[in-house]
Amino acid sequence: MAYHAGSVTGQSAKPKVVFVLGATATGKSKLAISIAERFSGEVINSDKIQVHDGLPIITNKVTEEECAGVPHHLLGVLHPDADFTAEDFRREAAAAVARVLAAGRLPVVAGGSNTYMEELVEGGGGAFLAAHDCLFVWVHAAPDLLRWYTAERVDDMVRRGMVGEARAAFNAGADYTRGVRRAIGVPEMHAYLLAEREGTAGDDELACMLEHAVREVKDNTFRLAAAQVAKIRRLSTLDGWDVRRVDSTAVLARMAEGAPHRETWEAVVWKPCEEMVGRFLETAAVDDDGGHAAAAGSPVLAPAMPPACLRPQLVQL
């Protein structure tokens, strides 16, 4: 099924945008890419850390293989030390949404920075929400399993080279309140990397310091996840936020058991979302007078998808 951002005959239906919400480690990126693949869309990153270039392991950026040919916008496009406010995001994301719609494709906004999401939707006097028909998909998981999985994912990041990546970017005088260095996994490593560089600790002490740093990364990651859930709950009460919750707890439970989980993900996450988004795209938006426009006709095939992630030039602010 392809998405076409044209207007309904005789009436002007609002263009449709899908948002994927959720705490870190709930599978937002995977779901957003799957939605974009299925409905001829493009992903607009709304993670305030992943918008910066650098530290792909620590920031959990999707790889080119994981992108599966789906174009991504605002992913790794800023200098690592650049400032990028919520207002900056609103401007750049709104422009990206407009470009995707102009190409007859479906914008899928996804990421863990709910402050960015709220600014895009509600900022500027609510102009975006007034001009677009929005569906918000919330990928949720039970806290106990989310705690387990966030820790498991940090262990996987360590195996993939998180410590070496932090070491290569280490600067003893770094400002951890700016740019990509705000990422969980960078400031927690400071004491360990400083002691390692200056030779002020023996091997056993360094091993303990590293273990402590990794434990801090796990604790801070779960605290972030809990804060994200609280923010999403608040957003779901706002007028105009059509938030639909999808529970991925069963998927994490299968993973915790060490059992195959692909079929579970397809059954409890993907299929409900596919049907939900399909119905959303087939139903015309409510017009300004409160009536319902007629459903759009046969979808128009969108242009062919690029073979790899779209990596635009660095945004100049």
pLDDT surpasses 50 at 283: yes
- pLDDT tens-place string over residues 121-135: 999 999 999 999 999
309 Cβ neighbours under 8 A, 6+ residues apart: 62, 64, 67, 70, 71, 72, 75
Which CATH number does the domain 147-219 belong to among 3.40.50.620, 3.30.460.80, 1.10.287.890, 3.40.50.150? 1.10.287.890
pLDDT band at 284 (very low <50, low <70, confident <90, very high): low
SS3 content of the chain, % helix, strand, coil (to 5): 50, 10, 40
pLDDT, averaged across the chain:
88
Q: What is the DSSP string of 7-27?
A: PPTTS-PPPEEEEEEE-TTS-
Tens-digit pLDDT profile for residues 156-167:
999 999 999 999
Separation CA 118–CA 269 (nearest Å): 24
- Please determine, for residue 316, whether its predicted confidence score (pLDDT) is greater than 70: no
pLDDT tens column, 191-216: 999 999 999 999 999 999 999 999 99
pLDDT at residue 285 greater than cutoff 90: no
d(CA 53, CA 75) in angstroms, rounded, equals 8
The per-residue pLDDT for range 246-256, each reduced to its tens digit, is 999 999 999 99
Query: 16-145+242-282 — its CATH code?
Result: 3.40.50.300
Pairing of strands 16-22, 41-45: unpaired
